[in-house]
Chain A
Amino acid sequence: MSNIGSYEQRVTDFSWDIAKEVLNWKDDELLNIGHMCSDRICDRGDGEKTALIWEGFGDKKATYTFNDLRVLSNGFAAKLQELGLEPGDRICIFMDKIPSLYFSFVGVLKMGGVAQPLFSAFGDDSLEVRLASAGTKAILTTQKHVKKVRKIIDNLPDLKHVIVVEGNPDKMRDGETFFDVETAEKFEDFECCKTSADSPSVLHYTSGTTGQPKGAQHAHNTVFGQILTSSWVLDLQDKDIYWCTADPGWVTGTSYGIIGPWALGITQCVLDSGFTSARWYKFMQDNKVTVWYSAPTAIRSLMRDGKELIEQHDLSSLRHLCSVGEPLNAEAVVWSEEVFGKPFLDTFWQTETGSMMVTNYPGMKVKPGSMGKPFPGITAAVLDLKTMEPLTEPGEVGLLAFRPGWPAMFREYRNQHDVYRSKFIGASDDATPDECRLNTDLWYASGDRASIDSDGYYWFVGRDDDVINTGGHLVGPFEIESALIEHEAIAEAAVVGKPDEVNMEVVKAFVTLNKGVDPDDMLELNIMNFIRKSLSPLAMPQEIEYMEKLPKTRSGKILRRYLRALEWGEDVGDLSTLENDD
């Protein structure tokens, strides 16, 4: 029997208070996600239950109980306090998926800090932009990644502490702190910060069409949305061994790779190793994974490697599969039914929404390729692109939007109130973030286009902006274009997504070169590596096209939509504003 039971019944009877019932929550309890993921699980008698099964490259393995998680996260919380960090300070976590990432995330929240996880593959430019925007006070990292911090620290006056949690202590430089929580003094007790529903908790950066990435600020109240969706969609149950393949540098990796499952006291496993299909299957076989939450890019890569590899492994423990990050194509759903005996259930949500919004559910008929239906309690619609009124005819394409009011909704874009307000259709020009967030007469615009069929299933159509979704990660064209023109050979640049069989989209750059530069054989490679190192491998153009000039409007704005349409074989639309040579 699934946790959700009947979807229709849940919609009828819904209240967010059910989340508190699932947690057996009392209103006078401490609402602190760090406490809820560790101390509270121990208090209910599950301290000796396994919290984390970790494997790294090679044969590195480690297992931790909820009591270990409690004590080790106390260690991080105490260390941060000792260094003088205070509630509300932004504390970046910048490391691979090692155990200390998970302990430190919980520890930061326990001491009242704002956890700012960042993808460890980010280069120094990407890191600098996000740390500067957040006014980050401390960064927890490893010897492997601290060199990126060293390159930029002089540009970051707010960054007072660099704490290296793994590596060789003899290689630290002046001003850096080495702290290995597993060998440091143990803290059996730590008094958690008395946070409330509205206290800031996690800060995730997400990309937009224009400008640099925006910091989506969440609060401790998000936990109620995350645990209820973990229960009803991921169907997490007490004896499950759960694997979320997402990196906590992105929101899936924290909402459903840390908070949701651990607040429910579920055993999770983590694989910190490069992707190969054989390694993933072996990991699931060895750890008897029961619930698997992954991404279409990975699923399509697994499909490519064939059924024979699956048959060489015992994956009979798997009972429930879900997917997130980009639309899951129908072929992948059909394939998973064939090879695993159960379909991947697609889930749709965003960094800003904090928890799942439109998904498929255990027990509900799956229409392969569909996003599913809105989570109970979520009012969703597809809006007419001109009138911004809900469309009523099945199959009509419009802007996917939600009525505000769910618990996990983001509280602001850090220091960008105008941008936050612009996400709410109908908000007045002087509305505060809280007035937007709590006004159920507005629509929160997702930035995605969708349609609804006659059975109420939602179907993803595409982005409503120029943001590129590559391998389930959103990449902003502006950030890449800005970095490209820093390259000595490039005069101008435009970046769009181009179709890709595995990653849905990959980055393609159109560039004009400075006078006298020849596009020789190695220039393309040189530009690729330049972006890979300064931004990230995700942002690296997978193809570069040299142009004499870029298409622009008469006012000089580069027409990305024209280039994108050419890549996708779509109608280029109205070109009346296109500059011409006459």
Chain B
Amino acid sequence: MSKMHEEVLEYVIDEYVDEDDDIEVEVDTALISSGIVDSFSMVSLKVFLEKKYGISLPDSEATPEAFDTVNSICELVIKFQG
């Protein structure tokens, strides 16, 4: 797992999963389609990625599919890191 995968996974767990939840989130766990992260909350996740990695993600790319797993999120970030 890359450092970026670790950082994004840690953020998702810290912000969207409670200790009491019986959910194990891994890099390939569905986030949006499972309801762990709802579509409105995607905005704060996008802001996190932009601030953390110094990129700008266009809204057209920040789709539920692109944000559905930590793996797909990291792919998106790498694409915009150039």
Residue from B32, B34, B44, B60 in contact with A529 in the complex, judged by beta carbons closer than 8 Å: B44
Please name all residues of chain A whose beta carbon is closer than 8 Å to the beta carbon of B51 when the two chains form the complex.
Answer: 521-522, 524-525
A525 to B43, CA, bound (A): 9
Interface presence of B65 (CB below 8 A):
yes
Most chain A Cβ neighbours within 10 Å, of B21, B31, B43? B43
Measured between beta carbons, the chain A residues less than 8 angstroms from B59 are: 501
The answer, among A167, A272, A275, A540, for a CB contact under 8 Å with B64, is A275
- Confirm or deny: A273 has a beta carbon within 8 angstroms of a beta carbon on chain B: yes
Contact flag A276-B68 (CB < 8 Å), given A96-B35, A147-B20, A168-B22: yes
Q: In whole Å, how far is A301's beta carbon from the nearest beta carbon of chain B?
A: 8
Asked whether B80 is an interface residue with its Cβ less than 8 Å from the other chain, the reply is no
A residues near B36, Cβ cutoff 8 Å: 274
A274 to B33, CA, bound (A): 4
Determine if A487 is an interface residue (Cβ-Cβ < 8 Å): no
Interface flag for B47 (CB, 8 Å)? yes
Q: Tell me whether A540 and B38 are in contact (CB under 8 A).
A: no
Query: From residue 14 to 65 of chain B, which have CB atoms closer than 8 A to chain A?
Result: 15, 18, 20-22, 30-41, 43-44, 47-48, 51, 59-60, 63-65
A171 surroundings in chain B (CB, below 8 A): 20
Q: Are B21 and A540 in contact (CB under 8 A)?
A: no
Given A274-B32, A275-B32 in contact, is the A529-B18 Cβ separation under 8 Å?
no
Is A474 an interface position by the 8 A CB rule?
no
CB-based nearest B residue for A470: B40
Q: Are B33 and A525 in contact (CB under 8 A)?
A: no
Of B20, B21, B33, B40, the residue contacting A273 (CB under 8 A) is: B33
Query: Within the complex, what minimum Cβ distance (angstroms) separates A174 from chain B?
Result: 16
| Residues in A248-299 with C-beta less than 8 Å from chain B | 272-279
Q: How far is the CA of A470 from the CA of B39 in the complex (A)?
A: 12
Q: Tell whether A158 is near chain B: CB-to-CB under 8 Å.
A: no
Could you tell me the distance between the alpha carbons of A470 and B18 in the complex, rounded to whole angstroms? 26
Cα distance, A524 to B47, chains bound together (Å):
8
For residue B37, which residue of chain A has the nearest CB? Answer: A274
How distant is A275 from chain B, measured CB to nearest CB, in Å?
A: 5
The reply to whether A273 and B22 form a contact with Cβ atoms under 8 Å apart is: no
| Beta-carbon contacts under 8 Å, A137-184 to B | 143-144, 147, 167-168, 171
Which residues of A have CB within 8 Å of B68? 276
B18→A540 contact, CB < 8 A? no
Contact of B43 among A273, A279, A522, A540 (CB under 8 A): A540
Q: A512 → chain B, closest Cβ, in Å?
A: 20
Complex: how many Å from CA A302 to CA B66? 15
- Find chain B residues with CB under 8 A from A57 CB: 30, 33-35
A278 to chain B, nearest CB (A): 8
Q: Which residue of A lies closest to B34 (CB)?
A: A57
Chain A hits for B38, CB < 8 A: 121, 274, 537
Question: How many interface residues does chain B have, given as a range?
Answer: 20 to 34
Determine whether the beta carbon of A532 is less than 8 Å from that of B41: yes
Q: Which residues in A have their C-beta under 8 angstroms from that of B41?
A: 532, 537, 540
Chain A nearest CB from B10 CB (Å) reads 14
Q: Which residue of A lies closest to B31 (CB)?
A: A274
Q: Taking the complex as formed, is A65 at the interface, i.e. its CB lies under 8 A from any CB of chain B?
A: no
Interface flag for A538 (CB, 8 Å): yes
Question: Is A471 part of the binding interface, using a Cβ–Cβ cutoff of 8 Å?
Answer: yes
Contact A528 B64, CB 8 Å, known A57-B34, A57-B35: no
| Bound complex: CA A151 to CA B77 (Å) | 36
Measured in the bound complex, the distance between the Cα atoms of B48 and A532 in whole Å is: 14
The reply to whether A540 and B44 form a contact with Cβ atoms under 8 Å apart is: yes
State A521–B37 Cα separation when bound (angstroms).
Answer: 22
CA distance in complex: A158, B59 (Å): 45
Q: Which residue of A lies closest to B59 (CB)?
A: A501
A279 touches B33 (CB 8 A): yes
B48 to chain A, nearest CB (A): 6
Residues from chain A with a CB closer than 8 A to the CB of B39 are: 274-275, 301
Q: Which residue of A lies closest to B68 (CB)?
A: A276
Q: Does any Cβ of B come within 8 Å of A542's Cβ?
A: yes
B20 CB to closest chain A CB (Å) equals: 5
- Among A143, A167, A276, A538, which residue has its beta carbon within 8 angstroms of that of B40? A538
Check B33–A147 contact: CB distance below 8 A. Answer: no
Report the separation of the CA atoms of residues A279 and B18 in the bound assembly, to the nearest whole angstrom: 26
Given known A121-B38, A524-B47, A540-B40, contact A274–B15 (CB-CB < 8 A)? no
The residues in A between 510 and 542 inclusive whose CB is less than 8 angstroms from any CB of B are 521-522, 524-525, 528-529, 532, 537-538, 540, 542
Contacts of B43 in A (CB 8 A): 506, 528, 540, 542
* B44 A276 Cβ-Cβ under 8 A: no
A147 pairs with B44, CB closer than 8 A: no
Given that A121-B38, A147-B18 are known contacts, is A274 also in contact with B44, CB under 8 Å in the complex? no
Interchain nearest-CB distance for B66 vs A (Å): 11
A305 at the interface (CB under 8 A from B): yes
CB distance from A273 to the nearest CB of B (A): 6
User: Inside 8 A of B21's CB, which chain A residues have their CB?
Assistant: 144
For B32, give its contact among A144, A276, A506 (CB under 8 Å): A276
Distance, CA A537 to CA B31, complexed state (A): 15
Residues of chain A with a CB closer than 8 A to B31's CB: 274
B34 and A471 contacting across the interface, CB-CB below 8 Å: no
Interface centre among B21, B39, B60, B63 (most CB of A within 10 A): B39
Closest 9 CB pairs of A and B: A537-B40, A274-B35, A528-B44, A537-B41, A57-B34, A274-B32, A521-B51, A274-B33, A276-B64
Pairs A–B under 8 Å by Cβ, sample size 17: A57-B33, A143-B20, A143-B22, A167-B22, A168-B22, A171-B20, A273-B33, A274-B30, A274-B37, A277-B64, A279-B33, A304-B63, A470-B40, A524-B47, A524-B51, A528-B47, A529-B44
B residues with a Cβ closer than 8 A to A are 15, 18, 20-22, 30-41, 43-44, 47-48, 51, 59-60, 63-65, 68
Contacts A277-B64, A525-B48 known; 20 new A-B pairs at CB < 8 A = A57-B30, A58-B34, A147-B20, A171-B20, A274-B39, A275-B39, A279-B33, A304-B60, A305-B63, A506-B43, A522-B51, A525-B47, A528-B43, A528-B47, A529-B15, A532-B40, A537-B40, A537-B41, A538-B40, A542-B43
